[in-house]
Structure 1
Amino acid sequence: MANRHTIILMQASPNRATRTFMDFESITQAMGGICALYERKLKELNPAIRNLSYDIVDLYNFIDGLADMSALVYLSLSQVMILEQ
Protein backbone atom coordinates (compact mmCIF):
# COMPACT_ATOMS: atom_id res chain seq x y z
CA MET A 1 0.00 0.00 0.00
CA ALA A 2 3.02 2.25 -0.13
CA ASN A 3 3.12 5.16 -2.55
CA ARG A 4 -0.61 5.15 -3.23
CA HIS A 5 -1.45 8.82 -3.01
CA THR A 6 -4.72 9.14 -1.07
CA ILE A 7 -7.13 12.04 -0.65
CA ILE A 8 -9.77 11.83 2.08
CA LEU A 9 -12.88 13.89 1.33
CA MET A 10 -15.11 14.57 4.29
CA GLN A 11 -18.11 16.56 5.40
CA ALA A 12 -18.60 16.80 9.16
CA SER A 13 -22.27 17.82 9.13
CA PRO A 14 -25.09 18.36 6.62
CA ASN A 15 -23.85 21.96 6.27
CA ARG A 16 -21.88 22.12 3.00
CA ALA A 17 -19.49 24.62 4.60
CA THR A 18 -18.01 21.74 6.65
CA ARG A 19 -16.60 20.06 3.55
CA THR A 20 -12.84 19.59 3.61
CA PHE A 21 -10.11 17.23 2.44
CA MET A 22 -6.89 15.69 3.72
CA ASP A 23 -4.01 14.73 1.42
CA PHE A 24 -1.64 11.82 2.14
CA GLU A 25 1.19 9.98 0.39
CA SER A 26 -0.14 6.51 1.24
CA ILE A 27 -3.23 4.65 2.41
CA THR A 28 -1.50 3.91 5.72
CA GLN A 29 -0.86 7.61 6.32
CA ALA A 30 -4.48 8.39 5.41
CA MET A 31 -5.76 5.90 8.00
CA GLY A 32 -3.42 7.46 10.56
CA GLY A 33 -4.76 10.88 9.61
CA ILE A 34 -8.34 9.77 10.25
CA CYS A 35 -7.30 8.43 13.67
CA ALA A 36 -5.51 11.72 14.43
CA LEU A 37 -8.64 13.64 13.43
CA TYR A 38 -10.69 11.56 15.88
CA GLU A 39 -8.09 12.03 18.63
CA ARG A 40 -8.18 15.82 18.15
CA LYS A 41 -11.97 15.72 18.41
CA LEU A 42 -11.75 13.66 21.62
CA LYS A 43 -9.33 16.18 23.13
CA GLU A 44 -11.59 19.05 22.08
CA LEU A 45 -14.60 17.40 23.75
CA ASN A 46 -12.66 16.34 26.87
CA PRO A 47 -10.07 19.06 27.58
CA ALA A 48 -9.72 18.13 31.27
CA ILE A 49 -8.83 14.49 30.60
CA ARG A 50 -5.11 14.08 30.11
CA ASN A 51 -4.93 10.49 28.81
CA LEU A 52 -7.77 9.55 26.50
CA SER A 53 -8.36 6.04 25.23
CA TYR A 54 -10.68 4.58 22.63
CA ASP A 55 -11.25 1.39 20.69
CA ILE A 56 -12.09 0.64 17.08
CA VAL A 57 -15.84 0.75 17.75
CA ASP A 58 -15.48 4.35 18.99
CA LEU A 59 -13.57 5.26 15.84
CA TYR A 60 -16.20 3.59 13.63
CA ASN A 61 -18.96 5.49 15.45
CA PHE A 62 -17.09 8.76 14.86
CA ILE A 63 -16.79 8.02 11.14
CA ASP A 64 -20.43 6.91 10.93
CA GLY A 65 -21.44 10.18 12.61
CA LEU A 66 -19.93 12.26 9.82
CA ALA A 67 -22.23 13.42 7.04
CA ASP A 68 -19.84 11.94 4.46
CA MET A 69 -16.34 10.52 4.10
CA SER A 70 -14.74 9.16 0.93
CA ALA A 71 -11.25 8.18 -0.16
CA LEU A 72 -9.67 8.74 -3.55
CA VAL A 73 -6.70 6.41 -4.04
CA TYR A 74 -4.32 6.80 -6.96
CA LEU A 75 -3.40 3.55 -8.68
CA SER A 76 -0.46 3.97 -11.02
CA LEU A 77 -0.77 1.88 -14.17
CA SER A 78 2.36 1.12 -16.11
CA GLN A 79 2.45 1.91 -19.83
CA VAL A 80 2.48 -1.83 -20.54
CA MET A 81 -0.82 -2.27 -18.69
CA ILE A 82 -2.34 0.71 -20.46
CA LEU A 83 -1.29 -0.61 -23.88
CA GLU A 84 -2.74 -4.05 -23.06
CA GLN A 85 -6.09 -2.52 -22.21
Structure 2
Amino acid sequence: MGLTTNAALNNIHFKEIQDSLAKDNIKISAEELLDLIVDFSLKNKQKLIETVRNRRKRSDDLLKEWLATPIDTERTDALSEHDLVM
Protein backbone atom coordinates (compact mmCIF):
# COMPACT_ATOMS: atom_id res chain seq x y z
CA MET A 1 0.00 0.00 0.00
CA GLY A 2 1.29 3.41 -0.88
CA LEU A 3 1.53 6.32 1.49
CA THR A 4 -1.49 7.99 -0.09
CA THR A 5 -3.62 4.89 0.44
CA ASN A 6 -2.44 4.56 4.04
CA ALA A 7 -3.20 8.22 4.71
CA ALA A 8 -6.69 7.83 3.25
CA LEU A 9 -7.35 4.74 5.37
CA ASN A 10 -6.05 6.49 8.48
CA ASN A 11 -8.34 9.45 7.79
CA ILE A 12 -11.31 7.09 7.48
CA HIS A 13 -10.44 5.39 10.77
CA PHE A 14 -9.93 8.70 12.57
CA LYS A 15 -13.26 9.93 11.21
CA GLU A 16 -15.00 6.77 12.45
CA ILE A 17 -13.51 7.22 15.92
CA GLN A 18 -14.32 10.93 15.95
CA ASP A 19 -17.92 10.21 14.91
CA SER A 20 -18.26 7.58 17.63
CA LEU A 21 -16.91 9.96 20.28
CA ALA A 22 -19.14 12.77 18.99
CA LYS A 23 -22.17 10.61 19.80
CA ASP A 24 -21.00 10.87 23.42
CA ASN A 25 -20.63 14.66 23.01
CA ILE A 26 -16.84 14.46 22.79
CA LYS A 27 -15.39 16.50 19.95
CA ILE A 28 -11.70 15.91 19.26
CA SER A 29 -9.30 16.82 16.47
CA ALA A 30 -7.46 14.12 14.53
CA GLU A 31 -4.15 15.38 15.93
CA GLU A 32 -5.37 15.22 19.54
CA LEU A 33 -6.89 11.80 18.88
CA LEU A 34 -3.58 10.52 17.52
CA ASP A 35 -1.77 11.83 20.61
CA LEU A 36 -4.28 10.05 22.86
CA ILE A 37 -3.95 6.81 20.90
CA VAL A 38 -0.16 6.95 21.17
CA ASP A 39 -0.30 7.68 24.91
CA PHE A 40 -2.86 4.93 25.48
CA SER A 41 -0.79 2.47 23.44
CA LEU A 42 2.36 3.25 25.41
CA LYS A 43 0.56 2.86 28.74
CA ASN A 44 -0.99 -0.42 27.61
CA LYS A 45 1.98 -1.74 25.66
CA GLN A 46 1.74 -5.31 26.93
CA LYS A 47 -1.96 -5.55 26.09
CA LEU A 48 -1.27 -4.06 22.66
CA ILE A 49 1.50 -6.62 22.00
CA GLU A 50 -0.83 -9.40 23.12
CA THR A 51 -3.61 -8.17 20.83
CA VAL A 52 -1.29 -7.90 17.82
CA ARG A 53 0.10 -11.39 18.40
CA ASN A 54 -3.40 -12.87 18.81
CA ARG A 55 -4.61 -11.25 15.59
CA ARG A 56 -1.57 -12.46 13.68
CA LYS A 57 -2.00 -15.96 15.09
CA ARG A 58 -5.68 -16.03 14.09
CA SER A 59 -4.73 -14.80 10.65
CA ASP A 60 -1.98 -17.43 10.35
CA ASP A 61 -4.35 -20.14 11.58
CA LEU A 62 -6.96 -19.15 8.99
CA LEU A 63 -4.34 -19.18 6.24
CA LYS A 64 -3.06 -22.61 7.31
CA GLU A 65 -6.62 -23.94 7.38
CA TRP A 66 -7.32 -22.47 3.97
CA LEU A 67 -4.11 -23.91 2.51
CA ALA A 68 -4.82 -27.33 4.03
CA THR A 69 -8.32 -27.48 2.55
CA PRO A 70 -8.23 -29.43 -0.71
CA ILE A 71 -10.22 -28.15 -3.63
CA ASP A 72 -11.78 -30.22 -6.38
CA THR A 73 -10.34 -29.30 -9.73
CA GLU A 74 -10.29 -30.76 -13.18
CA ARG A 75 -6.82 -31.27 -14.58
CA THR A 76 -6.24 -29.38 -17.82
CA ASP A 77 -3.40 -28.92 -20.20
CA ALA A 78 -3.65 -25.16 -20.49
CA LEU A 79 -0.41 -24.86 -22.46
CA SER A 80 -1.62 -27.19 -25.23
CA GLU A 81 -5.00 -25.46 -25.26
CA HIS A 82 -3.24 -22.12 -25.56
CA ASP A 83 -1.09 -23.37 -28.43
CA LEU A 84 -4.20 -24.57 -30.27
CA VAL A 85 -5.68 -21.09 -30.12
CA MET A 86 -2.52 -19.54 -31.48
Scaled to the shorter chain, the TM-score interval is 0.3 to 0.5
TM value normalised by structure 1: 0.33
Higher relative contact order (CA 8 A, sep 6+): 1
The structure with the largest helix share of the pair is: 2
Larger radius of gyration: 2
Q: Which has the higher strand share?
A: 1
